[in-house]
Chains A and B, each alone.
Chain A
Amino acid sequence: MSKYMVNLKINNVPLAVEEGTTILEAAKTLNFKIPTLCNHPDLTVAGNCRVCVVEVKGARLLSASCATPVSEGMEVFTNSEKVRTSRKHIVELLLSEHNSDCTKCKKNGNCELQSLALEYRVGDHTFLSVLKPKDLLPDLSSPSIVRDNSKCIRCQRCVRTCTELQGVNALCVAYKGDHQTISTFMNKPMNEVVCTNCGQCINRCPTGALTEKNSVDFVWDALYNQNKFVVVQTAPAVRIALGEELGYDPGERVTGKMVAALRKIGFNKVLDTDFTADLTILEEGFELLNRLKSVLVDQDETVKLPMMTSCSPGWIKFIEHIYPEMLGNLSTCKSPQQMFGALAKTYYAEKVNVKAQDMIVVSIMPCTAKKFECDRPEMRDSGFKDVDFVLTTRELALMIKQAGIDFRSLEPEAYDSILGESTGAGVIFGATGGVMEAALRTAYEVVTGREVPFTNLEIKPVRGMEGVKEASIKIKNVKPEFAHLEGVELNVAVAHGLSNARKVMDDVRDGKTNYHFIEVMGCPGGCLGGGGQPIPTSEEIRKKRAEAIYDEDHNMKLRKSHENPEVTALYEEFLGVPNGHKSHDLLHTHYKARIRY
């Protein structure tokens, strides 16, 4: 059906746009910039901050351009005297309720309200501050997310993020009028409510009201301590996004420069979470094959299918809260970060001849939930806290700046060995569908002795930004030991963003699906859109990061996890076989039900 075209003028420039387009979108096509705060490309329209107001000829009041559709013959002015004065007043009114102590704010320099205040040259106390001192105490209870309501402008992006993208609804708009506030249930601390720590709210907060719990100073302390051997691991999605914090465009890979920067900062060894991503594929792949055998051959009813991936700690906490009855479906594999920690303080410590108690393991993650994960009591299988500190991509960028490193001029360097070798399969863990693709590349080959039947090993049906993706692979001509899988159609599903996960979980719970294996990543786009990634985010940016991840995979010599020579050596020297006794001690875990409401 062809859409109606609507003719209008913006700042006297005529144009025609599709019916239903907002004034804001129409102005963008002409490159007229209209400032916004509550508007976000990932979220529904709210129209509550009012900074996007424009003048429409003949209208009595100014219109919020984000929430006003165009109409035939409309004449819009985006920069009239009335508009500019109003916008300035709106920003000043927002500031009258805002804790404007910018120099002490973690978002100083990357704050949309601050930028607007600068752009509009706000007056000095045009309006008296009505900030209440009792609101000045931030909620520091969560290991991942700091909530500071004194910085909040009630744009409600966080509430919409938590509801629309994540389906968690930990945050709500409470009370009304001048009492209106963003709140949890009964304004309880963040660590006591149903929050997955995914950090998506942080990525969309235009001010400093939501930020990550910063661990940079702990890491500097560890680095300055001469008695500590500090190793660092970097997650797959960090290398393709870190550049954005350091002046690069989205989608530029900075892997080698990042390794060089980490060495300059002073880490004793720079290692790669991609290594344990490869290891995860072996552990999880064999777990899937074992589960398939238990269900198909032994008809063991205690073994649950579909198996679900367990790499994403936001997703883990989500299922612990919302679907506790399905914890048996989760793979028992720890996430790559925690596998790394457990191995670093056992196998690796012995190799490099360092006592585990003298070793500090730092993770660079695209994720805020990883901060919670490393604090979990289950994550101490080495006898120590397996991963000591987690820094987000943003925090690493801060450290690089603090260290005075000129990132652009760095020569790319390679990861240290061992625990630094990886394959393309490990890299794609950073994108939605990546774990599934990596697992299929290995599992199919283990079962049949042949490569997965996809050109260039690229399993396209599980790639891309669609919320829920499905694929089926017919297993044929298997090796004798997998005779029970001959002719089986392996059905898989991939979901990213927790509201998509919820759809899949409801279908699985209601018996509407025939999946064997489901990959869930808590954040939109997978880890590359994680709560610890550079701000801003949008689908366009996430697509560029995904392209970068698949380019990285494409350029790797090894692209299948089971071909990682360091992983092979690890099994030969230390672990024995996948899902073996030692693996279970160090690399697998269990989950617990949490409050549902």
Chain B
Amino acid sequence: MSGMACSELKIIGFLCNWCSYGGADTAGVARFRQPTDLRIIRLPCTGRMDPLFVLKALLGGADGVLVSGCHPFDCHYSSGNFMARRRLEVLARFLPVLGIDPRRFVYTWVSAAEGAKWQAVVTAFTETIHELGPAPRVLDPDDAPLRFKEGREIWPT
């Protein structure tokens, strides 16, 4: 696990203010041991999640992205997480066409009371990302993208 056995990877977490951010806080107050790879961005609601946030993070060098909000039926704004669920599920299924491993993105629900669940989620997701290793970079300094590369041709139709 990072901070202990190997070097840290970059994981971005988008957390709902009302549930998962509280859940992460609960886990912290309870002094549950957690990996430190996650960088948290607080959102008012997962309904605020634009799938582009995830894509921007993944193309920008994140090795994994975690979105967590209130359980269904528990949204502070009643339907934000229902809307988010559809968008995020579509996004999860979209990633493979970009050549991005879909395991690098997860969305889930953690309530403010579920400190232990938060610990489990973060630990499991961080482990997955460490198994996958660093994500391939779009802007790789070793890469010469302007050099001819033999590649599969997919023609415009």
Do A and B make up one complex? no
Residues of A that sit less than 8 Å from B by CB = none
Residues of B that sit less than 8 Å from A by CB = none
